[in-house]
Structure 1
Amino acid sequence: MKNLTSPLPASERIILLDILRGFAIFGILMVNMKIFIHPVSVMMLKPSLDQPLFLLIPDLLIRFLFEGKFYTLFSLLFGYGFWIFLNKKAVTGSIIPVYRRRLTVLLLIGVLHIVLLWAGDILFFYAIFGFFLLLFRKLSDTKVAVWGLVLILLPAIIMALTWGMMVLGSSFPEGKAAIDASAAESSRTISEMIERSRLAYGHGSFSEIVNARINEWIALLPGLLFFYPAVLGTFLFGMLAARKNLAVSNAANASFFRKCLPLSLPIGIA
């Protein structure tokens, strides 16, 4: 009798997925390492080039080689794993309740991570969007691809519209003054939050530290909600890849990846 709560035996695992998953976690760690020494709200500040060269060079390398790339890979693998798990044969009944229980546990781990360790948690939202994935499981490949593309492009479209409105507003003296004042106020508020968080983490009580962490998470929430639709879209492409068995080593997949390489490599580097 197969135990759905235990990992697959080595003979049934797709080794490539395990390798890629470890690679993705390493990349995420590289990006987050520089944030771990600061309150997580420093992510809300604009990147600064005004730092010593020995700090600037590795910072730029991490931004170029790691940022935005390994979260994408990890999200693809989440969607891939979702489809594999969904197609396990349950001993009795449906596999869906088991999947929901796992997501609930992941959600609780995410909450504990936010409250007790770090406000930059991703597990909470991965669990939330894992539940959303269930809504797409019966759609055709074409519809999944369309939904995935829309969700991935949505943040970029909103950002472009926001930027366009700001440019338009800045063309008027009153609008430019209002935008500049709002930006200055936002920067001041963020800086004050960072200093309060530093003080709490360095000298505060346990309750003060937890409160600072929750406040940081709440402050990051608008940006996270803006960013995470693209994560759900990437989940969907991961699910689509699993439907096509793209992690399986065979001639057809090798040919497919060779054809994708000229386009995907520049996109990946960018």
Structure 2
Amino acid sequence: MAAPSSTRSARIDALRGLAVFGILLINVWGFVYGYTALRYGVIDASATSADRLAVFFAAAFAEQKFYPIFAFLFGAGFSLQMRSLAEKSGMDDARAIYLRRLKWLLVVGLLHGTLLWFGDILAAYALTGFWLLRHAGESWPELRRSLRLAVIVNVGVLLLTAIIMATIATMADYGAETADEALLANDIYTHGRWMEVTKARIGDFGMNIGGFWLFVPRIALLFLLGVTAVQLGWLTHPERHRALWRRILLVGAFIALPLNVWWGYEALGWALEPETSSRLVHMASFLLELAGPALAAAYVALFMLAGERVMNVLAAWLAPVGRMALTNYLVQSVACGLLLQAYGLGLGAVLSRAQLMLVVAGIVLAQVALSRWWLSGHDQGPVEALWRRYTYRR
């Protein structure tokens, strides 16, 4: 079967490109400090202001902000693709085609998590996508019922998370044990032999998968919100919904932003003195579960409210990255592994946290240039082309 043609939105592609880079800004720490509660490692008291600022900036303005955008856009893309497929082939064939797409994504995600990056998100997206496929073609009343159910489930998960964090806050040795885990992980990933790094990565990927039961409900809700945004025109016709996007931006600026800044301050303090972690750290971490996605929504609102002149400039640089987001996401893992971990150059053992941000900046600039160059001669990224070929195979 031939793949249906599609009309892409440069605004949405640019937003997706921003999300790809925002995800890198958080993922890069895991290549150096492993899968621990201390995402940014243990910071020496003599750390420079630049190193402290790097941790604060990542925690306050990137952590829990960009995967929600990516998941939201995944749901939007699902809605647009299913609409196009259904118009061309009927809903039954559309479901069969998209099911192949999800199976391919699941395999790539499992390989990615095992071989490159323990924090892989693709497998979770694919598994949640199998559930989302059941909601293909739902009318707005049906979708609204699904949204209500997803909200109820997420409230339950949040309550459970609050109980878990409250319990952790009472554990006297939690900070010291977490610091020891972070130091050990850092040593393995930046100094260990290939087999040691591989063993640690597979173990951490297993822990990542083990946490899916807490994570997948949120992805499901974000997927449904993406579908809703397409059905109601929030994304496809943002000029008609400027009042909505302004309200979202105001909530982000006056409520979510201060809470995220607080988390940045607490995350930095925790990394500096992990043994003396306070209840405030865990409270800020819990509130981040809500404040992070809320600030992410404000980022989306900024893109939806941006004027055409500003949007054209942003799209020129970010839209090519978003058009081949999967390729760029996977290449980031290859680059971070080769540059930072022990089986590659092992730079994670010698770079400061501020210098780690320079690595991120270098990858960002390289991917902008390479994405623009590649798409000047191709319709899509190389991994996307393989994905498309498998999805629409005869």
Aligned residue pairs total 249
Q: Which residue of the other structure, out of 119, 131, 150, is the alignment partner of 2:152?
A: 150
Q: Which residue of 1 aligns with 2:228?
A: 240
Q: For the Cα contact (< 8 Å) 1:154–1:230, is it kept in 2?
A: no
Q: For the Cα contact (< 8 Å) 2:79–2:227, is it kept in 1?
A: yes
Q: Which residue of 2 aligns with 1:72?
A: 68
Q: Which residue of 2 aligns with 1:40?
A: 34
What SS is found at the alignment partner of 1:180?
Answer: coil
User: Kindly tell me: are residues 56 and 220 of structure 1, through their superposed partners in 2, closer, same or farther at Cα, counting changes over 3 Å?
Assistant: same
Alignment of 1:7-46 (within 5 A): 8-9=5-6, 12-36=7-31, 38-41=32-35, 43-45=36-38
Deviation at 1:25, TM superposition (A): 0.7
TM-score, structure 1 as length reference: 0.78
> Which AA in structure 1 matches 2:243?
S
Superposition CA RMSD, Å:
2.9
> Which AA in structure 1 matches 2:3?
N
Matched, 1:130 2:129: yes
User: Kindly tell me: are residues 90 and 197 of structure 1, through their superposed partners in 2, closer, same or farther at Cα, counting changes over 3 Å?
Assistant: farther
Q: What is the rounded CA distance, in whole Å, between the counterparts of 2:24 and 2:167 in structure 1? A: 36
Alignment of 1:1-270 (within 5 A): 3-4=3-4, 8-9=5-6, 12-36=7-31, 38-41=32-35, 43-45=36-38, 48=42, 50=45, 51-88=47-84, 89-91=87-89, 94-137=93-136, 138=138, 140-164=142-166, 179-180=171-172, 183=174, 187=178, 190-191=181-182, 194=185, 197-198=188-189, 202-205=191-194, 207-249=195-237, 251-269=239-257, 270=260
Q: Which residue of 2 aligns with 1:173?
A: none
Q: What is the rounded CA distance, in whole Å, between the counterparts of 2:196 and 2:2 in structure 1? A: 46
Deviation at 1:234, TM superposition (A): 1.1
Q: What is the rounded CA distance, in whole Å, between the counterparts of 2:175 and 2:25 in structure 1? A: 31
1:149-171 Cα offsets, whole Å, 9 max, x none, are 2344343211222344567xx5x
Q: What is the rounded CA distance, in whole Å, between the counterparts of 1:250 and 1:212 in structure 2? A: 45
Q: What is the rounded CA distance, in whole Å, between the counterparts of 2:222 and 2:79 in structure 1? A: 13
Q: What is the rounded CA distance, in whole Å, between the counterparts of 2:175 and 2:49 in structure 1? A: 27
Q: For the Cα contact (< 8 Å) 1:152–1:234, is it kept in 2?
A: no
1:219-266 Cα offsets, whole Å, 9 max, x none, are 334444323321221111111111112112365322332344322444
* Residue identity (%): 24
Q: For the Cα contact (< 8 Å) 1:80–1:238, is it kept in 2?
A: yes
> Which AA in structure 2 matches 1:57?
L
User: Kindly tell me: are residues 73 and 166 of structure 1, through their superposed partners in 2, closer, same or farther at Cα, counting changes over 3 Å?
Assistant: closer
Q: What is the rounded CA distance, in whole Å, between the counterparts of 1:130 and 1:24 in structure 2? A: 19
User: Kindly tell me: are residues 52 and 219 of structure 1, through their superposed partners in 2, closer, same or farther at Cα, counting changes over 3 Å?
Assistant: farther
Q: What is the rounded CA distance, in whole Å, between the counterparts of 1:217 and 1:251 in structure 2? A: 42
Q: What is the rounded CA distance, in whole Å, between the counterparts of 1:60 and 1:192 in structure 2? A: 20
Deviation at 1:192, TM superposition (A): 7.6
What SS is found at the alignment partner of 1:90?
Answer: helix
1:88-110 Cα offsets, whole Å, 9 max, x none, are 12346520011111111111111
Q: Which residue of 2 aligns with 1:175?
A: none
> Which AA in structure 1 matches 2:228?
L
> Which AA in structure 2 matches 1:122?
I
Unmatched 5+ stretches in structure 1? 171-178
User: Kindly tell me: are residues 21 and 188 of structure 1, through their superposed partners in 2, closer, same or farther at Cα, counting changes over 3 Å?
Assistant: closer
Deviation at 1:212, TM superposition (A): 2.4
Q: What is the rounded CA distance, in whole Å, between the counterparts of 2:184 and 2:212 in structure 1? A: 18
Q: Which range moves more in the overlay, 260-269 or 238-247?
A: 260-269
What SS is found at the alignment partner of 1:83?
Answer: helix
Q: For the Cα contact (< 8 Å) 1:107–1:123, is it kept in 2?
A: yes
Q: Which residue of 1 aligns with 2:346?
A: none
User: Kindly tell me: are residues 196 and 99 of structure 1, through their superposed partners in 2, closer, same or farther at Cα, counting changes over 3 Å?
Assistant: same
Q: What is the rounded CA distance, in whole Å, between the counterparts of 2:64 and 2:177 in structure 1? A: 24
What SS is found at the alignment partner of 1:94?
Answer: helix
Q: For the Cα contact (< 8 Å) 1:106–1:123, is it kept in 2?
A: yes
